[in-house]
Amino acid sequence: MKKILYLSILLCTLLILSLTVNTAAFSAGHADFSVEYDGLEIPLKVFSIFVLPGEEIKFTIAEEDKGPMYQIELGGKIFESTSSFTWNAQTESGNYQAVIREKNIDSSAAEIKINIFVLHPREKKNGQYIENFRIGNYPEIPADKKDYYAKPDGFWKIDESILDLKLTPHFKVKQFLTRQSSELPQFIAIQESLLLKLEFFLEEVNNAGYQAETFGIVSLYRSPYFNKKIGNNTDFSRHLYGDAADIYIDNSGNSWMDDLNGDGQSTKSDADILYELAVKFDQKKKFSHLQGGVCSYKGNGVRGPFIHIDTRGFHVSW
């Protein structure tokens, strides 16, 4: 009897340890302080912004973190402030990095690396193209949609040299390639709010007990041209405006939704688990500024089940 009791205790202990290890395996990638940019509070060690040539850029230290002296390393020079940093983007399209850190603190968590991507302005399109990548034409935005829709001001060039660059702690550039073409470069629209939502939602998913180091991606940006080519007639899919993602969990690495509910299959029921978590995410006050559309989709033989999320500014599900 004692042997059975000891064995039961041992099994329970091992189970608890296993759960603890799985939970601890995910690191949110937060810094020891936060910065604010364009209405977003960013606590991540790595983040990316997308700006037009010469655009003014301003990062402010979050109110709760003000007090210490901070430094920014930019263009080989170091500047100091206790509150904010302002400068203008380079005048040519491309990318460079800035690092904001707390002065005299030697810790990787005491700095935030900012990738700055200078976009190709929309007005420099050659007809429907930028270089050899076909964008198509954006519709005029009706007055009743202008609060939530705007034509992209510019497009981010993705070439081979940056594919492995981390945009945020858990997402790399190569995950943002479109399915429109296998050739590079590609030009896409992207909004910083989507990056933040992907990171925060990934953290919430892990906190709920579903371990994932990143999300598998079905679709992010779709150009108006490609959207029509694949049979979508709407001009107002959030995918066209750079703040939508179709995602799934893929720890097995087979480009298919994992079996989240343990029934031995990958079905819409697994996507529904993510769907419920996404709805709860949008209902939390701290994420209200990232609210958007949520939907669960079944697999179709070509790709597995997934969910849609976006940051349109209000919650809607279908």
Which of 206-210, 229-233, 298-302 has the highest average model confidence (pLDDT)? Answer: 206-210
Beta-carbon contacts of residue 60 (< 8 Å; ≥ 6 apart):
35, 36, 37, 83, 84
Distance CA 314, CA 9 (A): 49
Distance CA 252, CA 57 (A): 40
Task: Give the pTM.
Answer: 0.91
Q: What's the distance, CA 225 to chain centroid?
A: 23
155-211 residue pLDDT tens:
999 999 999 999 999 999 999 999 999 999 999 999 999 999 999 999 999 999 999
Which residue spans within 103-203 are E strands per DSSP? 111-118, 120-121, 129-130, 133-134, 154-158, 166-168, 171-172, 186-188
Residue 96 has pLDDT above 70, yes or no: yes
pLDDT of residue 11: 52
Give the Cβ contact number of residue 245 at 10 Å. Answer: 27
Query: In the numeric block, which tokens belong to residue 261?
Result: 């509910």
Residue 3 has pLDDT above 80, yes or no: no
Distance CA 230, CA 161 (A): 29
Distance CA 54, CA 94 (A): 12
Full set of structural domains in the chain with CATH: 28-118 (2.60.40), 128-318 (3.30.1380.10)
Residue 291 has pLDDT above 80, yes or no: yes
pLDDT of residue 5: 47
Flag the least confident range among 9-23, 63-77, 93-107, 263-277.
9-23
Name the band, by pLDDT with cuts 50, 70 and 90, for residue 25: confident
Read off the DSSP letter of residue 174: G
